[in-house]
Amino acid sequence: MLRNTLQSFGLAIQNIRANLFHTFLSVLGIIIGVAALVATFSLIDGLEKFAREQIATQTSVNAIVVETQTDKFINNLSVRKDTFQVIDYERYARFRANAPLVTRASLHNSFNREIKVIGRDSAIGAMIQCIAERPPNDTILTHGQLFSATSFIGREPVAVINTQLAKLIAGQEDLNTALGQSFSALGHTLRIIGVVKDKKKESPPMAFIPISLLSNQDLHRSPPSLLFEVAKTEEVTVLKTQIETWLKQEYGEQSKDFAIHSQDFWIDQTAKGFLIFRIIMGLIIGLSVLVGGVGVMNVLLISVNERTAEIGLRKAVGAKKGDIRRLFLAESITVSAFGSLVGLLLGAGFAMAAIPIIRFFADVPFSAVLTWNTFFIIASVAIIIGIIFGTYPAIKAARLDPVEALRRE
C-alpha cells in the first residue's frame, strides 16, 4: 500500500514537471489564496506579539491590582455609593506580612493640592503621592534620604519630593536647602527628608508621603489602589485566591466593594480578539483558495480526458480502481502542495516587505511572525483542497471502462 502510494506521488510529480507552466496557471488561485493567508496570519501574529509586549511594558503580567468600586449601576446609570470600604495601611501591612509569594507590593493614591511652605505666604501646586513602601527601585535619590521602615509604621510626618518641587521650594539655590524645610498638606505639617530625580522632563511638582498619615475621610475621598506582584505567572491565580479569602475575612459581605484585576485577563482577552480576527480573515481569504481548488479539479478533469488511453492501458494490465483513484488523488494533492508552497514563499516575502513600510508610517518596532501554526494550516489546506477537489476526477478516471478507453485512442 505504501509502495503504491509513493509510486503514485512519483508519477504525479512527473506529470507536473511535464506541464509545469500549465500547472502553475491552473493553481494560481491557490497560490494567491495561500500567499494572502500566510501574509495575513504572519502580520496578525506580529500584531498580537506587539500588543502583548506593550501590555507587558505598561505593567507586569505577574501583577494583581485591587481597587475599590465607588460606583454602582441603578437604572442603567452609574451613581456613587453612599458607603463603601477602603483598604487602609494597617490591613495592608497585615496581609503583606503573611503573603510569601509577593515580591513587590504597594498601596497608593494621589491628590492634587496646594501646599504651603512654612514661613512663606505663597502656595505651590503639587501632586501628593501617598505610598505604603519605599519608592520603586528605579527611583534615583539625589539629595537627603528615602523613607525608613519606621516612617510608615510610626506615621512619621515626612516627605520625599522630586526635583521640580525642590526647585520651587529652594529657588535658584542648591537643592540641599530644601531638605529640612516643612510644608503643610492634607492636614499635616510635613518635613522634607529627601529629593529624587524626575523620571520625565515634564514631571509635575510631586511629593511622596506615607499613606499611613491619611485619615479615614482622606481614604474615602480618594480610595487607594493595592498592587501585588509575584515572581512567576503561574502564581497569579494562587495569589488571587489568597486575596479573595483575605478580603472576605476582613470585610465580610462588603468585600464586594473591591474588584480584582490582573494582566493575564487582558492578555487572554487580547488573544481571543486576535483569534476572532484571524478566523474572520481566514474565512474571507479562504474563498480564493476554494476558487483555486476548482482550478485544480479542472486540471485533473482535463488530464483524465487527455490520459484516457493511459488509464485504459493501466486497467488492461491489471490496475484496479483503487490504484487509479490513488494516482489521481496523489496528483491532486501534489498540485495543491505545489501551489501552497509557492504561495507560502510569496506570502512570507510580502510580509517581510511590509515590515519596513509599517515601521516607517507607524514608527513602532513591529515585526511579522511566522509560526508553526501557520505552516500547519498551509499544509492542511494543501491536503484538504487536494482531497476534496481531486476526489471527483479520481472517481471518474477509476470508472472508465478499459475497452472503451482504449477504443477512444
DSSP-derived secondary structure letter, 381? H
pLDDT value for 298 = 75
Looking at 232, 253, 277, which one is the last position of a domain?
A: 232
One domain for residues 214 and 314: no
Pairing of strands 206-210, 158-162: antiparallel
One domain for residues 80 and 219: yes
At which residue does the C-alpha cell 514608527 appear? 363
Alpha-carbon distance of 391 to 201, in angstroms, equals 69
One domain for residues 273 and 212: no
Classify residue 246: in a domain, yes or no: no
* Mean pLDDT of the region 321-339: 77
Classify residue 114: in a domain, yes or no: yes
Classify residue 107: in a domain, yes or no: yes
Looking at 232, 255, 278, which one is the last position of a domain?
A: 232
The structural domain count of the chain equals: 2
Residue 221 CA, distance from chain mean position:
35
One domain for residues 159 and 226: yes
- Can you say whether the dihedral through the CA atoms of 206, 212, 217, 220 is positive or negative? positive
pLDDT value for 370 = 79
Residue 287 CA, distance from chain mean position:
28
Alpha-carbon distance of 367 to 333, in angstroms, equals 33
Classify residue 263: in a domain, yes or no: no
One domain for residues 337 and 385: yes
DSSP-derived secondary structure letter, 122? S
Classify residue 9: in a domain, yes or no: yes
* Mean pLDDT of the region 6-33: 68
- Can you say whether the dihedral through the CA atoms of 358, 362, 365, 371 is positive or negative? negative
Is the pLDDT confidence value at 190 over 90? yes
Q: Which helix (H) or strand (E) holds 57?
A: helix 28-58
Looking at 176, 204, 232, which one is the last position of a domain?
A: 232
Classify residue 168: in a domain, yes or no: yes
Classify residue 292: in a domain, yes or no: yes
One domain for residues 278 and 404: yes
Which amino acid is present at 377? Answer: I
Contact 209, 223 (CB under 8 A): no
Label residue 258 by pLDDT band (50, 70, 90). very high
One domain for residues 137 and 182: yes
One domain for residues 80 and 10: no
One domain for residues 70 and 51: no
Higher pLDDT, 39 or 300: 39
* Mean pLDDT of the region 219-246: 88
One domain for residues 211 and 165: yes
Classify residue 389: in a domain, yes or no: yes
As a whole number of Å, the CA-based R_g of the chain is 35
One domain for residues 71 and 51: no
One domain for residues 46 and 68: no
| Residue 81 domain boundaries | 63-232
pLDDT value for 16 = 64
